[in-house]
Structure 1
Amino acid sequence: MLRKRIVGVITVRDGWAVQSFGYRRYLPLGRPEILAKNLDRWGADEILLQCIDRSAAELGPDIGLIQRVADKGLATPLIYAGGIRNADDGVAVIHAGADRIAIDTLLWEAPEKVHLLEERLGAQAIIAALPLSIEASGLMRRNYRNGASAELDEVLLDLLRRRVVSELLAIDWKNDGGSAFDIRLIDQIPIADMPIIAFGGLAGAGQLRDVLTRRQVVAAGVGNALNYREHTVRLLKQALGDLPIRAHSHQRGLTYDHD
């Protein structure tokens, strides 16, 4: 049986790790590479480094940041998101030290390039990141560039059905930084067998249990809640011990890196 994962999420803006509230307000947390090293030591199953301002500024991926994180010698797989415009960018991110990439803007603006990414990297290395919400008209996807929302179009759904990407990162952007996750987002994704990483507003064991008991959910992303207490990952895994979740690694120390 595949074990479900807890993904530590680091949100980066202007080069600094921040606590995000609905992707509208931010509080500084420190250097992303230090937070990544701490999550690695504390037992996260994966680390998602999401640079939320790269695409809007058309800056491309932050290769220097990825290299600084990789230089920390992480044992935990690293996912990078932010500014990926084409297959060359995706390859550069992997060469810089990431294990996988997550894409969002590319799905809106050039979905045909996702096929090129899949040819270069393989579907297993690609995650589709979708900021989602439930509106009066149903499940909607948000465009971070212009703030508009739209239904999941057939081009996107075809990419998901054909497994050009390996997983879907379902982001509850309205509850980001809060204390809730709208479970309806999972239930209304129209591809029943699509592996999903749920993220946005998840913190306590009860909330994680609600999403991880959904059959198609393979992982839960936790952001702000993991950055203030070094034992949080271990305590969450202990509380979820009756679920098929990856065991906490006892080979990693539980010290806090202040470099």
Structure 2
Amino acid sequence: MGKGGGCIPSKRHRATAAADAAPQPLSPTSHRRERTFIPAPSAAVAPAPAPRPVRIYVVFYSMYGHVRLLARAVQRGVGSVPGARALLFRVPETLPPAVLAQMGAKEAADGEDIPVVDLDGLPDADGFLFGFPARFGSMAAQMQAFFDSTEPLCRHQRLAGKPAGFFVSTGTQGGGQETTAWTAITQLAHHGMVFVPIGYTFSEGMFELDELRGGSPYGAGVFSGDGSRPPSELELALAEHHGKYMATLVKRMVHGAS
């Protein structure tokens, strides 16, 4: 065999083998070093700010106080939902004091603590609940005058997409608990707003037959009779449910809450 090609390694091959057998120092990036590496802590992430409370404007007209009592109950219902707030507003009166006195109106004194609605502030609301008494099966003229005054907002569709509902007061069982709300939907349609009825979400209370109860799938309501009958506990409970139901839906629409 030629030199270095047989079974006996050459001096060069023996030197290489000896060098391979000698222990090698650990490199700075050895596997053992990687296993003991502790990463630096990441920068702390600030928690997301809590979403602002949704605002539901309860805008109403009440001559004898019945709708005002429903509005208070609606406000309690809205306030029972975490992250929701109801603000009460009256619409301007259109009748002179002398005429109101002849009609025996009670709202002038009882509602002084509730501010008159500001049209420019309406777009700040996330949702609305409008309350009014019936006049011949539709809303009272004072409420109609309020909606007429919102024409500048309608022209620019500043209330478009906002959810809204109704609660009403009628004198008798045939006085328009449904038609008063139904005929008011035209106001929402022109503004591009979304009508939100309560359906039968009040469960068994919607089928109560043992006592007189106002309200319908369109919204809460009260039977006022000749004006002397105040809202019953059941009617107030329905109004409170209406506020709670509306607040829950508005939260879902604004913040995606369940």
TM-score (norm 1): 0.35
Q: Which has the higher helix share?
A: 2
Asked which structure has the greater CA Rg, the reply is 2
